Structure 1
Amino acid sequence: MSAFRPASGIRRDEHDWGVFAQMSGPRDGLKGIVAIEATFLPGKAHPFHFHPGQEEVIYVLEGTIEQWVESESQTLTAGDAVVIPADAVHATYNETGESAKILAILSPAVEGDGYAAVDVAADEPWASLRP
């Protein structure tokens, strides 16, 4: 498989929350890293979750997000980043009227798509943390 990924060759999956595009992962022969571009539509989110055994870096490409790591939140804009330790519960919300785009890099890659997410949004304290 070629090392190059032209935009036309990157699969972009539309969801009710936005667009998901995996740039790299195990299907490309990579074992240590997964890169994902995600565009969050206005008012949409990836609620509280964690990635078992995976570290993550989120870099904001466009727009503004409300980023949570455990019980701490901060507003991030284009050019900002957050480093998330393995197994840390986190969430990304777009409460603005404009789309927001991030680049998420996870390591190590895990079998399948290269990442695993465990949804804890309905569990306490996460369900009550955000008004």
Structure 2
Amino acid sequence: MRKIIVCTFLTLDGVMQAPGGPDEDAESGFEHGGWQKPVADDEVGTAIAGWYEHSDAMLLGRKTYDIFASYWPTADPENPFTDRMNSMHKYVASRTLTSVEWQNSTLLEGDTVDAVGKLKASDGG
């Protein structure tokens, strides 16, 4: 049976939002996109790398999938995360997507709770 481990970026005051560029997730008037980059250091990079070290797949929602799939396939190959992000299997939960094009991606079919339950019950890391 697989474990599902949630990894997220959260500020001390409770903002959970993508840490990328300033325009990455500006819905609902959020004006602090890219908040993590100015405070990131080697320790942060090591912690994030640890998220993926022992995982064989990612479970993504539509929005995160869209962000990742628009960036990682053409990301700098010298970036230590590029190969890992592209080669790792991705499972995508979405009610609006009809297909996923990023390599090693699978769109979960039917009810998300049931699909994730089946995924969790399957073999894998």
Tell me, yes or no, whether TM beats 0.5: no
* Structure (1 or 2) with the greater helix fraction: 2
Higher relative contact order (CA 8 A, sep 6+): 1
Q: Normalized against structure 2, the TM-score is what?
A: 0.28
- Given the two structures, how large is their TM-score scaled by the length of structure 1? 0.27
More strand by share: 1
